[in-house]
Amino acid sequence: MIYYSIIVYFFILQTKPAFGAFENVAVGKTADQSSYLSNWIKNATNAVDGSIATCIHTDVGKDNSWWEVDMGKEYFIHQVGIYFRTGWKWRRNGIQVYTSMSPRQTVTGQPCGEQITGNMDGSDIADVTTRTCDVTGRYVTLYTNTLNKDSCNACDGGKAMDFCEVFVMACELNVKYGPNCNKMCNDRKCATKTSSCDMIGTCIGGCQAGWKNTDCTEEQN
Note whether 221 and 123 are same-domain residues. Answer: no
What pLDDT is stored for residue 108 in this prediction? 81
Q: Are residues 56 and 13 in the same domain?
A: yes
46 with 138, same domain: the answer is yes
Supply the Cα-derived Rg of the chain in whole angstroms.
Answer: 20
191 & 161 share domain: no
Cα distances (Å, whole numbers) of residue 54 to 82, 94, 102, 124? 13, 22, 27, 23
List the domain range (segments joined by +) for residue 208: 177-221
Residues 105 and 207 in one domain: no
- Structure confidence at residue 120 (pLDDT): 79
Task: Tell me: do 44 and 111 sit in the same domain.
Answer: yes
**Is residue 139 domain-shared with residue 203, that is, in the same domain?**
no
In the prediction, which pLDDT does 155 show?
61
| Predicted pLDDT of residue 87 | 81
pLDDT at position 10, please? 40
Query: What's residue 215's pLDDT?
Result: 97
Residue type, 149: K
Give me the residues of the chain with pLDDT under 70, please: 1-20, 149-157
Q: How many domains does one find in the chain? A: 2
pTM of the predicted structure, to 2 decimals: 0.85
Considering the domain architecture, whether residues 7 and 79 belong to the same structural domain is answered as yes
Quick one: pLDDT at residue 20? Answer: 64
Residues 153 and 206 in one domain: no
pLDDT at position 195 is: 92
What is the Cα–Cα distance from 140 to 138, expressed in whole angstroms? 7
